[in-house]
Amino acid sequence: MSLTEDTPTPKRPSGFWSYANPVKFLGLSERILPAFWGLAAVSLIVGLIWGFFFTPDDFRQGSTVKIIYLHVPSALMAINAWFMMLVASLIWIVRRHHVSALAAKAAAPVGVVMTLIALFTGAVWGQPMWGTWWAWDPRLTSFLILFLFYLGYIALWEAIEDPDTAADLTSVLCLVGSVFAVLSRYAVNFWNQGLHQGASLSLDKEENVADVFYIPLLVCIAGFVFLFLALVLYRTGTEIRLRRARALQAREART
Amino acid sequence: MMPDLGKYADAVLSAYGVSILLIMLLVIITLRKGRAARAALEAVETRSKKNG
């Protein structure tokens, strides 16, 4: 029996895990990115124009209801971006795939901008409706803490020189911050004393906003989801290239 | 064409203005950083090929 028959050849990862290979990941993202950019642009332009120009005022909230097309999708993405980072961080902790750690790093600035948009639009919507820009309401407060966690997460990546150590520590921070991501979503269900209303969207059709606002809102949400996907894929590619460039520079310096 | 936003015009327009500005800034910064990373990697790869 020959040696090659005795020695098992290492199995190449297949399916989803094969995209842990940076070259394969870059190949896939190059192929699908144009579609994601296009879908994001079309759905955001259609949804925002539809919502701003062609929906009526609400009988109680007047024209401020138009802020819903920015506030709800950005808040949704702010929370879900953190959950995407959590999944990517767990993959890094368990399987040590660099692409997943870099994807989490790439998503954080997108998440911070989404959180900022949600906080700002919430404040300018809250002022005429509640009579205040800000209240220490459970949902608002947990959202502010989520924003601070995003800033801390980005700062931690920047502060640590060794990328693997940075990935380890930011993954732990991401696990801790997930508590506030969950609270941001469900705080209104836990505590009833807050100013913030319940969910605007629900699987229970009775609880949803009226259809005239609902359909353009869904288009805007689709736009924000595609924008998030396009930005995260593109930024992950950037992080992979920067990592490769640093590795080559380090090799050059050694020789 | 412009809808009558009434007394809430400032709130609605500032929400749209700031949000669109933030999204555009995020996209522009992302694309610029991406281009710079591609150029940096290309330069290092070319250099290491030359040096063998």
Q: Mind listing the pLDDT tens digit for each residue in A169-198?
A: 999 999 999 988 887 777 666 666 666 766
- Please report residues of B whose CB lies closer than 8 A to that of A63: 3-6, 8-9, 12
Percent above pLDDT 70 for chain A:
87
Inter-residue contact A78 to A143 (CB < 8 Å): yes
pLDDT at A207: 60
A247 Cβ contact partners less than 8 Å away, ≥ 6 residues apart: none
Cβ atoms < 10 Å from Cβ of A186: 15
- Interface residue of B4, B16, B49 to substitute, partner A, most A CBs within 10 Å: B16
- Interface residue of B19, B46, B51 to substitute, partner A, most A CBs within 10 Å: B19
Nearest to A237 among B15, B34, B48 (CB): B34
pLDDT at A2: 45
**pLDDT top residue among A42 and A209:** A42
Average confidence score pLDDT of chain A: 89
Q: Is pLDDT of A200 > 80?
A: no
Q: Is B5 on the interface with A (CB under 8 A)?
A: yes
Instruction: Look up tokens 């909230």; give the residue.
Output: A61
Predicted structure pTM score: 0.90
Q: Which tens digits make up the pLDDT trace of A100-134?
A: 999 999 999 999 999 999 999 999 999 999 899 99
Q: How far is CA A14 from CA A93, A99, A158, in A?
A: 20, 15, 33
Sorted by where each starts, the structural domains of chain A and their CATH numbers stand as: 31-245 (1.20.120)
Q: List the one residue out of A51, A139, A113 whose CA is nearest residue B12.
A: A51
Interface of B with A in 14-33 (CB under 8 A): 14-16, 18-19, 22-23, 26-27, 30-31, 33
Average confidence score pLDDT of chain B: 93
Cβ atoms < 10 Å from Cβ of A7: 8
pLDDT band at A137 (very low <50, low <70, confident <90, very high): confident
Largest CA distance in chain B: 69
Q: CA of B1: which chain A residue's CA is closest? A: A53
Q: Residue A163 is encoded by which pair of tokens?
A: 């990328």
Inter-residue contact A52 to B16 (CB < 8 Å): yes
